[in-house]
Structure 1
Amino acid sequence: MTGGSARLARGHVDAGYEGVRDAFLQVVGSQPLPCGQQLAVYRDGRRVVDLWAGQGVRADTLTGVFSVSKGAAHLVVALLVQDGVLELDRPVASYWPEFGQAGKSAITLRQLLSHQAGVVGVEEQFTIDELADDSLLAARLAAQAPYWEPGTAFGYHGLVIAALTGEVVRSATGRTLRDWWERRVRRPHGLDFYLGLPEPLEARYLPVQPAPPEPGPAGDAPEPGKLLAIAFSTRHMPDLSVFPNFRRTRALGQGSAGGVASARGAAGAYAAVVSGLDGTPPLLTPDTMAEFARPHSAGLDLVGEVESGFALGFQTFDGRYPPLGPDAFGHAGAAGALAFASPAHGLAYAYVRSRFSVQGAADQENGLLIEKVMEAVTETTGDRTGVKADGVTGDGVKESRVG
């Protein structure tokens, strides 16, 4: 499906969102190798964009969404903070005493959520089987000394953050993070966003593919920095794309990078949070959303050795995608997936892809799609009649061909 071969994008867009459909077609047509892609956008709790492309891909196809999973994990934490069950400025060890070892007794939940704890992994690195199991990770990390003085710097706890926050949830409530996700978010709204994929749904899973080879002469990959190697266990998993393709990862529902979703499911979760779905009230109050979206860590990420920024369990996006504004919160995933909410615009967005992108390409794809979404939001403010584009109504299918 390259070169002059025709590619199909299917789905529907509401009137006023035709530019988003055109941008999606542009993105689909730019792929150097076959790639499954989905885009879903909700406005005020109603789905206004629903598009998908790729051989064998349907609207309900599921794939690994990597760190988009962190959004699910920390929506649960936000709900429990809102309920008064968890307190952001209380020490983690007051909920989970074992965590207080090795100089970690004063680390607060707020510092942990904003990637300031310094507990990014272990020196010997985790195997893939170990990484799939959040309870095992939490037990091992409880005795780990921080790699920097907590609260003085930050670094991406890429594969372990939800194991740590999930153990806080389990210790405080007696229920796992996955249980809370099912009870409070996924099951009540019928969302295809799983922290633990049930066996009967395996037939809908589309394996993640590695990135296409970079153009130009092949060279040796640079050695990862020490903290990056520890955080991503590069000794045991040199190619992150394989992680969700192990049934163990999908079954256990590893909260940092093991989630499985469709774009409909990921966007629907943020719609439930910011606007409500099917007549239900929003899951989070404006005050809770503002607190969890507020920047807490910004500057040089000690793990990735790049400029970065985090809110509480979520990424900040105003620098990365300026049209969104400062209140947007969500999380991107390693293969190029992205899901977020923008409370100011009543907006929930998810883009999912089944192949790792060439470096930087997914940011460009999301940048283009977000630009067109925001143009449509501006143009349709006050006119949300729900008329489908090009005469397609309901869940009807619209096929668009790109060369």
Structure 2
Amino acid sequence: MSTMHQAVATTASGYTAPRFAGVRDAFESNLRNGDDIGASVAVYHHGRLVVDLWGGIRDTSGTPYPEDALHVGYSTTKGVMGLVLASLVDTGEVDLDAPVSAYWPEFGAAGKSGVLVRELASHQAGLPAFGEPVAKADLADWGGCVRRLARQAPAWYPGTRHGYHALTLGYLVGEVVRRASGKSVGALLRERFAQNGDLQAWIGLPAEHNGRVVPYQDASPTPGIGAFAATAAEAPDTLTHATFNNPVVTADLFNDPALWWPEIPAANGIFDARSLARLYSGVLAGPLRAISPITVDQVRRQQVHGPDEVLVDQPTRFGTVFELSSPRQPMLGPGSFGHDGLGGHLAFAHPESGIAFAFLTNRAIPDPTPHTRLWRLLSAVTAAL
């Protein structure tokens, strides 16, 4: 890692509106002090792109970080799936208060017939881990994954507790989306949000873009609270262990191009920062609005807040699919909603200020969020407002 830091270019390429110039200073500071190796950040304000920056190096070869870099989004993908679900709520194709089994009858097995869509979509269904062994290659088998989850008994009585459904949430919400609309999450993403064709965002990447995907590197957790979660993930017979070890979830998992083409909507969305920020502009007042204010308020209404059965280090707070502002991930404070991704990615909207924000990095830092690099960037956005 240290050799990479010596080679890092510490100036950013791209654009900032004059009012947001401080974001460039923060971004370059992250490159200078080694928090970032290569990264990109984009900000929309009321539908106008005001920050579009990239910099550092792409990988261990020392190649400069490219303008057209794509990243596997890890759990920022969940937020994009949340936007797709919100579009179905907006059109009346999905009712969040309906039972999941109204759309997907097989899901009602093993005591799950009463689970509502909004409970399923806020980590309350008790299915945070696959109950049967799942290999990495099995993640590409949509039918197999949804059948496993449909017949599985919940780990707790649904609706009474919540625990982060790291990989399973994508299959669960994705199957509701598929049953309700006849289309997959990835197909709806392109159909409803990429009409003009320039949106660089996919769940299920066409192979011609494989060469643009930047590899992700793990950094080791520092002692303390980051190590606490890592220890829980290593302890057998915990839900944390089951969730992150069947199959093993690390920054390296989705560096394999074989996992870019299938749809794994909790984890393998592939984006650039400007497209991810643009997607979140669809929930803000302005020219890019794609989802009505009523639906936006529905999906960002708190569903759960408190101890998490899986992410045992800090309480979590969720709306419908979306992470909400909390000490764990403050974003721009109350009203913010979006999703972070393993090791430092973050994308969200804050309707009150008109900001949509996306940050993607090639260095995963597994310490609890918010990491100092995000503090710097978000403080600069706040200062500009």
TM-score computed with the length of structure 1 as normaliser: 0.86
Runs of at least 4 residues of structure 1 off by over 3 A? Answer: 3-6, 132-135, 212-216, 318-323
1:230 to 242, 264, 267: 242
Shift, 1:4, TM fit: 8.7
Q: Distance in 2 between matches of 1:166 and 1:5?
A: 39
SS in 2 for 1:38: strand
Q: Is the CA contact (8 Å cut-off) linking 1:115 and 1:157 kept in structure 2?
A: yes
Shift, 1:159, TM fit: 0.6
Q: Is the CA contact (8 Å cut-off) linking 2:349 and 2:357 kept in structure 1?
A: yes
The 3 A distance-change label for structure 1 pair 212 and 121 is closer
The 3 A distance-change label for structure 1 pair 171 and 97 is same
2:151 partner letter: A
What is aligned with 1:248? 258
2:91 to 67, 83, 94: 83
The number of residues matched between the two structures is: 369
1:63 to 51, 59, 71: 71
Matched, 1:367 2:367: no
TM-score computed with the length of structure 2 as normaliser: 0.90
Answer 1 or 2: higher relative contact order, Cα 8 Å, separation at least 6: 1
Q: Distance in 2 between matches of 1:187 and 1:134?
A: 26
Q: Distance in 2 between matches of 1:130 and 1:5?
A: 37
What is aligned with 1:329? 337
1:24 to 23, 27, 36: 27
1:262 partner letter: D
Q: Is the CA contact (8 Å cut-off) linking 1:65 and 1:335 kept in structure 2?
A: no
Shift, 1:165, TM fit: 0.8
Stretches of structure 2 that go unaligned for 5 or more consecutive residues are 58-63
Q: Is the CA contact (8 Å cut-off) linking 2:322 and 2:337 kept in structure 1?
A: yes
What is aligned with 2:294? 287
What is aligned with 2:178? 170
2:276 partner letter: A
Q: Is the CA contact (8 Å cut-off) linking 2:74 and 2:266 kept in structure 1?
A: yes
SS in 2 for 1:172: helix
Q: Distance in 2 between matches of 1:189 and 1:271?
A: 17
Query: C-alpha offsets along residues 91-115 of structure 1, whole Å, 9 cap, x if unaligned?
Result: 0011101100000000000101111
Q: Is the CA contact (8 Å cut-off) linking 2:73 and 2:341 kept in structure 1?
A: yes
User: Where does 1:203-214 land on structure 2 (aligned, <5 Å)?
Assistant: 203-212=211-220, 214=222
The 3 A distance-change label for structure 1 pair 41 and 91 is same
1:29 partner letter: R
Matched, 1:136 2:139: no
User: Where does 1:367-386 land on structure 2 (aligned, <5 Å)?
Assistant: 367-377=375-385
SS in 2 for 1:251: coil
What is aligned with 1:48? 50
Q: Distance in 2 between matches of 1:376 and 1:242?
A: 36
Q: Distance in 1 between matches of 2:326 and 2:310?
A: 21
1:299 partner letter: G
1:11 partner letter: G
SS in 2 for 1:119: coil
The 3 A distance-change label for structure 1 pair 342 and 361 is closer
The 3 A distance-change label for structure 1 pair 312 and 361 is closer
Q: Is the CA contact (8 Å cut-off) linking 1:9 and 1:52 kept in structure 2?
A: yes
After superposition, the CA RMSD in angstroms is: 2.3
